[in-house]
């Protein structure tokens, strides 16, 4: 994985960020390796279950001990893979709430268009090494749900 870390670190370095941040249950290890390679501060966001229901019921919050270090800093948000984008989205929301500026989102793998749309909507640059097709639907949009296809086969283990 290390050559890929260098490739993504090189892409992120052109944005002149002050820190690298990753969601602890996803890209934090990768974010830490990139921060080390670029000699930047490493931040991480902890996963927290919220009271919300629906597609994005989980929040990510910058660790308590690091929250004061975010204000007015340019931050790269790094995840190993982005599909639904919930970890990156919630991490960016918390960074902004703390006065940080998410400048670029980096990922080894981007699956589908949700991550790209989020980055574009937020005017954040996006860097990834691999882009794969991947479809995510809400239950109302899901073609299998519309056909009444069960999520599991009741006869299998």
Q: Is the pTM of this model over 0.75?
A: yes
Ordered by start, the domain boundaries in the chain are: 2-146
Alpha carbon dihedral 31, 32, 35, 40, in 10-degree steps, equals 120
Is 66 a residue whose pLDDT tops 70? yes
Q: Which of the following CATH numbers is that of domain 2-146: 3.40.190.10, 3.30.70.20, 3.20.20.105, 3.40.50.2020? A: 3.40.50.2020
**Averaged pLDDT for residues 13-36:** 95
Q: Among 10-14, 112-116, 141-145, which is the least confidently predicted range?
A: 141-145
DSSP structure class, residue 113: S
- Can you spell out the DSSP letters for 34-90? HHHHHT-EEEEEEEEE-S--SS--EEEEE-GGGGGG-TT-EEEEEEEEESS-HHHHH
């Amino acid at each position: 994985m290390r050559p890929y870390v260098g490739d993504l670190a090189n892409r992120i370095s052109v944005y002149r960020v002050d820190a690298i941040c990753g969601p602890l249950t996803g890209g934090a290890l990768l974010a830490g390796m990139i921060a080390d390679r670029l000699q930047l501060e490493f931040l991480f966001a902890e996963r927290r279950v919220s009271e919300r229901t629906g597609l994005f019921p989980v929040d990510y919050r910058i660790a308590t001990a690091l929250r004061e270090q975010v204000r007015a800093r340019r931050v790269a948000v790094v995840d190993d893979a982005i599909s639904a984008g919930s970890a990156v989205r919630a991490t960016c929301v918390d960074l902004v709430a703390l006065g940080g500026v998410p400048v670029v989102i980096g990922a080894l793998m981007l699956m589908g268009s949700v991550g790209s749309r989020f980055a574009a909507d937020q005017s954040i640059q996006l860097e990834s090494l691999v882009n794969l097709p991947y479809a995510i639907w809400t239950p109302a949009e899901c073609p299998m749900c519309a056909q009444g296809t069960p999520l599991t086969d009741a006869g299998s283990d």
